[in-house]
Amino acid sequence: MHWPKKLKRGDKVALIAPSSPVESHDLVESAKKYLEGLSFEVALGESCYASCGYLSGTDEMRARDINWAFSTPDINGIFCLRGGYGMQRILNQIDFDIIANNSKFFSGYSDITALHTAINQQTGLITFHSPMPGTLKFAQADLFTKTTFQDFIFGVDGSYIYKNPTGFDWCFLNQGEATGKLCGGNLSIITSSIGTPYEIDTKGKILFIEEVDEEPYKIDRMLNQLHLAGKLKDCVGIVFGDFADCDTKEPAKSLTILEIINNLNLTIPILYNFRCGHCYPTATLPMGAMVRLDSDKNSFEVIH
């Protein structure tokens, strides 16, 4: 795995919408203004203002935007406007040779999980699970979220030690220490990769999982599918992020997310309630980087 070249003020970056369309054109302008505020020159992909049902343009347009952003020499970084749905439709149209030969900062989350996994596994490029500036919530993003995002935008040297923001506590469900490459992202997208050419490889890795707007029984089903597919057995540690709006409407007839996880009877180190996912505040994660979990030190850190 290798890190992309650090971005610096004055660099040209691209905004693209490779999944669903933004909720309003004002959000494209808001995202552009945010990046310009970091002293970047911003180029907009065709998909930024496009719409095709629940997709931000045709499959060909969205794939073309990704290939364009990576292949254009003076573009140094790529920011996804939002997630939604559609990334898996275009994975077979992405030119991974172009990406392998043009290592650049690439960020997004949610549906973008599919491309993080594919890029990490097919090119060795470290990418960034991060908030996206084209969403409604990002306009009111807190200092913790923007600071950790910008830490990785401009590059970190050496190790990076995570701490949850004030008021949010994490805990280790299982004790121990584990070191491995970070993989994962959105649970639905991870699970739907099973059986495809882009199936997630968790062997010897630390798996990060987050989800939004799913009933606990659906979380249970997806985690058990990963378990039966050997993906939880293969990894050396797990980081459970935020499960936003995943509470059941009938608590008396449901298991909690924590009960579902404990019922898996895993023995590897597990960090629970790491503040990252469809939530604010939220952290930024370098997917593919070497990370370490240590329950004795109550720590989660990037070690490069």
- Catalytic residue list: 110, 210, 278
Q: How many angstroms separate the CA atoms of 221 and 236, rounded?
A: 21
Buried b vs exposed e over 121-158: b needs ≥16 C-beta within 10 Å? ebbebbbbbbbbbbbeebeebeebbbebbeebbeeeee
- Residue 218 has which token pair? 């659906």
Instruction: Answer yes or no: are the C-beta atoms of 233 and 264 closer than 8 Å.
Output: no
DSSP symbol at 295: T
Instruction: Answer yes or no: are the C-beta atoms of 79 and 149 closer than 8 Å.
Output: no
Reduce the DSSP state of residue 301 to 3 states and report it.
Answer: strand
